[in-house]
Structure 1
Amino acid sequence: MKKPGAFSPQARLKSFSYAFAGLGFMLRSQHNAWLHAGATIGVVAAGLAYKVRPEEWRWLFAAVTIVWVAEAVNTAFEHVCNVVSPQHHPEVEKAKDVAAGAVLIAALGAAAIGASVFAPYAIASF
């Protein structure tokens, strides 16, 4: 096993560049990431319009973050699967479906959190 080198600020900064490259790749290549970006913008706009309380922002940020993390992990998992098994394999397909299902679970949970935060504001505005 390769021994890690000494700590270096330059190496830490370079690791951030890899992370940003990965996020850029996800945004360029995954249509669902575009949907998540639109939903994120919508949540922030609604939160600002309704002037939600700080404790509600915490729930909204947590929900949005969980969805983005799930999408990023799913994207990475799909690409690893495609390298390991370039030809269709039913077991790899099942694994990819489960990873996509995790994103769906996160998105449904986030939608429930958003509804619980925004519903009282929406009802009060009528």
Structure 2
Amino acid sequence: MDNDKFSFSKRLKSFRYAWNGLRIMLREEHNSRIHFSIAVLTTILGFSFGLNRYEWIAVIFCMGLVFICELFNSALEALVDFVSEERQPLLKKVKDLAAAAVLLSAITAFIVGLLIFIPKLSTFF
């Protein structure tokens, strides 16, 4: 248990670690760049089609969900690779389950995107 008193400078330092984690994700994890590109495109489309508050909430929540899953997947993969360089069935299972979380979150985001943008596209054409 940490008995140190609250320190504003330590809290700021913890934010630096978190921002570093985001930088690592975008620099080293190729799939996160794809997710980021899609998030930027979705944001541009959202502004173009004038999403309402509730549509923005759904879109932002889905983007966050995908990035959170990607971060946990990347962290678990790094931990598994650190624990063992050998191929082990249980460690493969951990990696596959984490990857499935990313896939499921991306599919969910895609479906939400379809539900929001298809009606807007249909009125556009």
Please give the range of the TM-score, normalised by the shorter of the 2 chains.
Answer: over 0.9
Taking the aligned partners of 1:72 and 1:4, their CA distance within structure 2 comes to 30
Alpha-carbon shift at residue 5 of structure 1 (Å): 1.1
Taking the aligned partners of 2:13 and 2:75, their CA distance within structure 1 comes to 19
Taking the aligned partners of 2:88 and 2:103, their CA distance within structure 1 comes to 23
Q: Which residue number in structure 2 is paired with residue 47 of structure 1?
A: 46
Task: Please identify runs of 4+ aligned residues in structure 1 that moved more than 4 A.
Answer: none
Q: Which residue number in structure 2 is paired with residue 83 of structure 1?
A: 82
Q: Which residue number in structure 2 is paired with residue 99 of structure 1?
A: 98
Q: Which residue number in structure 2 is paired with residue 63 of structure 1?
A: 62
Alpha-carbon shift at residue 10 of structure 1 (Å): 0.1
Taking the aligned partners of 1:57 and 1:47, their CA distance within structure 2 comes to 8
Q: Percent identity between the aligned chains?
A: 34
Residues 75 and 4 of structure 1: CA distance in aligned 2, closer, same or farther (over 3 Å): farther
Taking the aligned partners of 2:63 and 2:75, their CA distance within structure 1 comes to 19
Q: Which residue number in structure 1 is paired with residue 21 of structure 2?
A: 22
Taking the aligned partners of 2:3 and 2:41, their CA distance within structure 1 comes to 42
Instruction: Using structure 2 for the length normalisation, give the TM-score.
Output: 0.97
Is 1:38 equivalent to 2:71 in the alignment?
no
CA deviations over 1:34-87 (Å, ceiling 9, x no partner): 001011001101101101111110000011110000000100010011111122
Aligned residues: 125
Residues 4 and 73 of structure 1: CA distance in aligned 2, closer, same or farther (over 3 Å): farther
**Equivalent residue letter for 1:39:** I
Q: Which residue number in structure 1 is paired with residue 114 of structure 2?
A: 115
Alpha-carbon shift at residue 90 of structure 1 (Å): 2.0
**Equivalent residue letter for 1:99:** A
Taking the aligned partners of 1:4 and 1:118, their CA distance within structure 2 comes to 51
* Aligned-pair Cα RMSD in Å: 0.9
